[in-house]
Structure 1
Amino acid sequence: GWHEFPYLDMGEFYSDYSSFKVNITVPSAYIVGATGLLQTEYELAQYKSTGTQNSKNRTGKPVLYVPKDKSGTKKLTYVMNNVPDFAWFADKNFVVQYDTLKLASGKVVEAFNYYHNKPGTIWNNSIDYTKDAVKKYSNWVGEYEYPVVQVVEGPKNNASGGMEYPTITLITSPDAKKESLDAVIAHEVGHNWFMSMLGSNERQHTWLDEGLNTFFEFRYEAEKYRTNSVFGEAMIPAEIKALTAKDFLASLYGAMIEIPMESPIETPSDKFKSSDEYGLISYVKTALWLYLLESQVGTDKIDRAFKQYFETWKNKHPQPEDLKASFEKSLGLDLTKYFELLNKKGQFK
C-alpha cells in the first residue's frame, strides 16, 4: 500500500512496485538518462553509437552527442515494469559510454554511463566499474533482473556518495581516485538488489538495504583493490594490503569490532542522532554483524543463503523476520541469538 514517507537525509523512500511509461520533453540539445528502457529510436541509436565509441577510445577526445534538431524540443519515452520508483537526469554536456555485459545465465544487460569531460576526469573507465558491479552482485546475491543499468555523474557532495534509483544511480562523491569511484559506483548499483528488486523498507529497517549492501561493497573493494571505504587507503598498512582478500577482510573486520557503535542496528533511520551515527550503524555495524555469521559458516554458505533469500523474496518487500527464516532454512541453523544482536547496544564484543 501507500507509504507517504518524504525523503530525508537519514532515510529514503519505500514504495510499492509499479509499471512506468514516462514521456519527457526537454530542449533538443539535452542528453537524458532515466529509469528503464528508452523507446525513442533515434535518441537510443545516438546514445549507443557515441557511447560505444567512447567506451572503446578512452584516452582521446570523446565523441559527443549530436541532436537530430539543434533547436526546439524533443519528447523521449521511457518504459519500465515492476519497479518501486522512477528518476531521470538531463545535461547538455554529458559524455555517454555504452557497452553490454553477459551474466552467467547468458542474459545480456545494457550499460550506460553519463559523465562530464573535465580535465583529469577518471570517469573514462567508469563503464567497467558499472559492469563489474552487476557481474559480482549477480554472482553473490542473485541475477540482475533488469535489462539495463545506468550510472550518472552528478554535482559533487562531500556529505553523500550518491542516490540510487531502479536501473539508474546518481554519483555525487568526489572522484579523486579510481578505487573510491569504483567502490561508490558498486555500492549505488548494489542498491538495485536490496532497495529495488527486494524492496526493503529502508525507513523502518535501514540495515536491510544499506547494511546488506555495504557487506558486499566491502567484499568488492577487498577483492579488487584491498581498500575499504571506512578506513581509507592511508590508514591500511602495506602488510595488510599484501594479504589475500579473505585475510584482508578478516583484518579489517577485526579492527571494526573495536569501533564504538552504541545504537542498535535495528533503529529506524529517523531516530539516529546524526548522519555519522546513521552511517556507522546502518552500514558498518550491519556489515560487521553479517561478517560474524560468514566467519562461522563460510563464504560459500553465506552466498547460498543470500541467493535463496533473493530468489524467495524478490519483488515482495521482505521484513527482518523473513531474512531470518530464509537464512535458517538455507543454513540449517537456529539463528535466534544471532538475530537478537540486531537490538544490541554497543559493540559485539
Structure 2
Amino acid sequence: MKNLLRGLALFGLVAGPIAAMAQDTKFGQLGQELPTPNTYRTASGAPGHQYWQQRADYNIKVELNDENQSVKGSESITYTNNSPDVLSYLWVQLDQNLFEPKSMSNLTRTANLKERMSTQALEHLTREEFDGGFKIETVKDRNGKALPYTINNTMMRVDLPSPLKPGQNVTFSIDWHHNINNALTLGGRSGYEFFPGDGNYLYEMAQWFPRMAVYDDVNGWQHKQFLGSGEFALPFGDYKVSITVPADHVVAGTGELQNANQVLSSTQQKRLAEASKSDSPIVIVTQDEATKAEKDKSKSKKTWVYAAKNVRDFAWASSRKFIWDAMNVNVAGKNILAMSYYPKEGNPLWGQYSTEAVGHTLRTYSKYTIDYPYPVAISVHGPIGGMEYPMVSFNGYRPEADGTYSDRTKYGLISVIIHEVGHNFFPMIINSDERQWTWMDEGLNTFVQYLTEQEWERDYPSRRGEPKDIVEYMKSDKSTQVPIMTNSESVLQFGPNAYGKPATGLNILRETIMGRELFDYAFKEYARRWAFKHPMPADFFRTMEDASGVDLDWFWRGWFYTTDHTDISVEDVKWFTIDSQDPEFVSTQKREQQNREPKTLSQQRNLQDIPRTLVDQKPALKDFYNSYDPLATTATDQQRYQTFLKDLSAEQKRALDSGLNFYEVSFKNNGGLVMPLIVRMEFEDGTEEVANIPAEIWRYNNNDITKVFITQKPVVSFELDPYLQTADTDLSNNTFPRRLAPSRFDIFKQQQRQQTNPMQQQRATSRNSSSSNTGQ
C-alpha cells in the first residue's frame, strides 16, 4: 500500500480537493423542529421574562381500609391562575381510572392467541375484571355548592360558575373512593402486596387522589389520556395530607411528619432525633417492633399528618410490617433526612444498603444538577419494582428467604434506589412533561444514575450509559424502532428508547463530543434554569448549546430525531512517503522493493527443472545488457538532483529531509449517524497515538471522506473507535488492515437453571466442611 510522491507534488499535499460535496440536512440547524422563541421561552433555552406557570395547593384527608383494600378521601384544591388567559373550566387527572374494566387502556390492549397456551396465560385472559377506578362522590365549590363535571376516561372537566381571570384563584373540593389493586397480579405504579406468612398487607399509594392537570404556554391544557406508559404532568403547590390507618401501621409520606408525638412512641421519637444527627443509619422502628405489630394487628386507628411545600405530587406507603431507619445527609450545608421503610423480608440487604444509597444519590445528583432542596428523601420496599414521587420512591429487590442474595439482586437494589431517588431531580423538581416526553424524565435521570453508580464503586456494573451497551438496540430491526422524539404512548422498545438511548447520547456528548468540563457546566445550568419549572425539549437542547458554545444541532437531529445508527468503516489506507529524488536513495529503495517481490510459481519451478539456461551454457551470447544495472546511479542523475536542491527553500528542504509518513485514510458512513472519528494508530515500534477528530469532518460529505495523517514513524494499523465511545454497531470494519474477530461455538449439555446463588453455595460448603470436621 505504498506509493511514492514524485518531486514537487509533495508541496501540493497540504490541502487536497473536497470530493463530492454531498451535504444534506445532517448539519443543518434545527429550524422547524423547534418552536419559535418567545417571551415565555427564549432562544437561549432559558425561561423568558414573561414565563408563567399555574399553582395547585391541596388539603387532603384520606382513610385506608385494611379490611377490603380501599381508600376513601376528601380533598380541597386551591387553583391559582398565573397565566394571561381566562379559564372557564379546569381539568383534573383521574389516573386510577386506568383500572376501570372499560378504560381506554384495557380496550386498546393487544394480544395474540397461540395453539398452545400456558395456564398462567389462560388465567390472565380469563381472570375476573378488577374495578379500581375513581368513584367520584361530589365536586363542590368553597361554599358547598355542587359544580358540574364531566369524566372523560382518565380526565375530568370541572366547569366553573364564573371564568377564572388572570391572577385569581378558585377553591373547590372533591370527595371520592376507590379500590386498591394487587400490584403483584395487576401491575401498576401503586398497589398492595399481601404476605400470606403473617397475613398482613403492605400498601404503596400513588395516583391515589384526583390531581390537577397542567395548563401551560406550550400545550394549553395537557389532558392527553393516561394509557399506562406516558406518566404525569403536574403543577407545583403546597400539600397538607392527613392519613388515617390502623394504629400499628407505620406511614411514610411526601414531606415532613407533623405529629410525631401522636403517632410515635417516646423511644421512637428519640431515635428519630438521633438519626437526624447521625452519618450512618439509625433504626427508628425495629424489626422486633414490626414483628410484634404483625402478630397483634391493632383494630384502632391513628392519623399521620404530613406537610410538603412546593411539590408536584404526593405519595405515601403504609404497613404494620415496616422497619424504619434514617440518617443525616449534608448537602451544601443543609441537613437532609435519608430514610428507608421495609418489611423484614428485605433484610439483611435493605438494612445494609438502602439508606446509604439514598444519601449517596442526594450528594452525587446535587453535584451534577442543583442542591437537593427538600428536607427528606425516602426509599420504600414493597411490590412496586421502581417508581418515583417527591421525596418518596418505591423500590423492589429483596433477598432469598434464607437471607442470601445474588450479585444481580444486590446491584439491582442499589441501582433502582439511585434511579428512583434520583427522579426527585428529574422530573419532580426539573418538572418536564412525562405524558409527552418520557426521555426528558427517564433518559436524563438514567444518565445521572450512571454517573452516580460509578461513584459508588469502581467499575460498577451499570446496565445503561456506556455506548457499547446500546449497540444491540441501535442495530436492531428499524421497523421496531422509533426516534427518541416520539410521544410516550407511541414508543416502541420503551426501555432502550426512553432510558438507554438518551442516557447513552448524553454520555457520548460528555466524554467524546463536548468534554466533561463544557458538558457538566451546561447540564448544571439547565437544571438551575428549570428547577421548579416546566421545561420542554427545545429548552434542554438550546441550553446545552447556549451554556457550552458548542453547536449540537447535528447531534440532536441524528440521535434524537432519527433511528440512524453509528457504523463508520475504515475503507482504505494509502501510504505515501516523500520522494527525496536523491538518486542513491531512489536506487536503494527500488532495489529493496525488487528484492521483496515474490517469485512466481513458474519461476520457482524453473529453478529446479532448468538448472542451466542456454546463455549459461554459451557465454558468448551475453552482451551489454546482461551486465547492465538499470538501478545504478549515473553522473547525470546526480547533476539533476543537485539542481533540484538549489531551487528549494529552507522550509522545503526540512520537509524533504524529515522522513515523514503520509497516510490517506478513507472512511465510509454506513449507519447514517455522523460521529467524531477516534483513530488509534499503532506504529512499527509498538507505540501508538490516538487522534480525535470532531464530527464536523462530515459536514461537506456525510457519506465518504478522506483524511491525511502525517506521522514520524511508519504506521502498521489504523483502528477506529478503539475505546468504544460512539456505539459503533460493526467493529469488524473499524480496522485497517482488517482483523479477524474470533467467534466460538459452544459444546454444551442441556442443564437446568442454576437454583442457588453464590452466597447459598458458600454457606452449603461451609456447613458440609463443618459437619465433616465434627465427624472426625
TM-score, normalised via structure 1 length: 0.83
Aligned to 1:151: 379
Distance 1:318 1:10, change over 3 A: same
- The letter of the residue matching 1:26 is V
Aligned to 1:344: 562
Aligned to 1:332: 549
- Aligned equivalents of 2:242 and 2:467: distance in 1? 47
The 5 A counterparts of 1:228-307 are 228-230=461-463, 252-260=466-474, 262-273=481-492, 277-295=493-511, 296-307=513-524
Distance 1:211 1:119, change over 3 A: closer
Note if contact 2:391-2:424 (Cα within 8 Å) is conserved in structure 1. Answer: yes
Note if contact 1:27-1:73 (Cα within 8 Å) is conserved in structure 2. Answer: yes
Give the one of 281, 284, 289 matched to 1:55.
281
- The letter of the residue matching 1:80 is A
- Aligned equivalents of 2:346 and 2:369: distance in 1? 37
- The letter of the residue matching 1:141 is T
Matched, 1:111 2:330: no
Distance 1:267 1:348, change over 3 A: farther
- Aligned equivalents of 2:434 and 2:539: distance in 1? 15
Matched, 1:166 2:390: yes
- Aligned equivalents of 2:241 and 2:470: distance in 1? 44
- The letter of the residue matching 1:313 is W
Greater radius of gyration (CA): 2
Aligned to 1:22: 241
- Aligned equivalents of 1:146 and 1:56: distance in 2? 20
Note if contact 2:253-2:317 (Cα within 8 Å) is conserved in structure 1. Answer: yes
Shift of 1:258: 4.7
Note if contact 1:3-1:15 (Cα within 8 Å) is conserved in structure 2. Answer: no
Distance 1:257 1:46, change over 3 A: farther
Aligned to 1:243: none
Distance 1:75 1:339, change over 3 A: same
- The letter of the residue matching 1:118 is E
Shift of 1:304: 1.6
Distance 1:228 1:267, change over 3 A: farther
Matched, 1:130 2:358: yes
Question: Which runs of 5 or more residues in structure 1 are unaligned?
Answer: 232-248
Shift of 1:299: 2.1
Q: Which has the higher helix share?
A: 1
- Aligned equivalents of 1:111 and 1:317: distance in 2? 26
Distance 1:108 1:139, change over 3 A: same
SS at match of 1:203: coil
Matched, 1:74 2:290: no
SS at match of 1:64: helix
Shift of 1:327: 1.0
Note if contact 1:50-1:97 (Cα within 8 Å) is conserved in structure 2. Answer: no
- Aligned equivalents of 1:13 and 1:282: distance in 2? 15
Shift of 1:282: 0.5
SS at match of 2:281: helix
Matched, 1:141 2:369: yes
- Of 70-79 and 84-93, more deviation after overlay is shown by 70-79
SS at match of 2:314: coil
SS at match of 2:345: coil
- Aligned equivalents of 2:416 and 2:378: distance in 1? 14
- Aligned equivalents of 2:268 and 2:374: distance in 1? 19
Give the one of 406, 411, 416 matched to 1:184.
416
Matched, 1:98 2:326: yes
Question: Which runs of 5 or more residues in structure 2 are unaligned?
Answer: 1-214, 216-220, 400-404, 568-776
How many residues of Structure 1 are paired with residues of Structure 2 in the alignment? 319
Aligned to 2:527: 310
- Of 110-119 and 123-132, more deviation after overlay is shown by 110-119
- Aligned equivalents of 1:87 and 1:56: distance in 2? 23
- Aligned equivalents of 1:212 and 1:119: distance in 2? 29
Give the one of 87, 100, 108 matched to 2:315.
87
Note if contact 2:226-2:435 (Cα within 8 Å) is conserved in structure 1. Answer: no
Shift of 1:71: 5.1
Aligned to 2:114: none
- Of 294-303 and 109-118, more deviation after overlay is shown by 294-303
Shift of 1:6: 5.4
The 5 A counterparts of 1:36-47 are 36-42=255-261, 43=263
- Aligned equivalents of 1:329 and 1:216: distance in 2? 21
Aligned to 2:620: none
Shift of 1:289: 1.1
- Aligned equivalents of 1:34 and 1:108: distance in 2? 18
The 5 A counterparts of 1:202-213 are 202-213=434-445
TM-score, normalised via structure 2 length: 0.39
Shift of 1:50: 4.8
Aligned to 1:237: none
- Aligned equivalents of 2:339 and 2:227: distance in 1? 28
For residues 71-127 of structure 1, the C-alpha deviation after alignment (integer angstroms, 9 at most, x for no partner) is 521111111111111111100010000111001x20111122100112753001211
SS at match of 1:210: helix
- Aligned equivalents of 1:14 and 1:300: distance in 2? 32
Aligned to 2:453: 221
* % identity of equivalent residues: 32
Shift of 1:255: 4.2
Aligned to 1:236: none
Distance 1:219 1:206, change over 3 A: same
Shift of 1:222: 2.8
For residues 216-275 of structure 1, the C-alpha deviation after alignment (integer angstroms, 9 at most, x for no partner) is 1122223323234537xxxxxxxxxxxxxxxxx7xx3234235336321111110024xx
Distance 1:257 1:11, change over 3 A: same
- Aligned equivalents of 2:484 and 2:268: distance in 1? 43
- Aligned equivalents of 1:57 and 1:112: distance in 2? 10
Distance 1:317 1:271, change over 3 A: same
- Aligned equivalents of 1:16 and 1:304: distance in 2? 28
CA RMSD of aligned residues (A): 2.7
Shift of 1:30: 0.5
Structure with greater contact order relative to length (CA < 8 Å, sep ≥ 6): 1
Note if contact 2:282-2:327 (Cα within 8 Å) is conserved in structure 1. Answer: no
Distance 1:89 1:56, change over 3 A: closer
Q: Which has the higher strand share?
A: 2
Note if contact 2:346-2:398 (Cα within 8 Å) is conserved in structure 1. Answer: no
- Of 212-221 and 279-288, more deviation after overlay is shown by 212-221
- The letter of the residue matching 2:323 is V
- Aligned equivalents of 1:46 and 1:168: distance in 2? 24
Note if contact 2:326-2:340 (Cα within 8 Å) is conserved in structure 1. Answer: yes
Distance 1:28 1:255, change over 3 A: closer
Shift of 1:316: 1.1
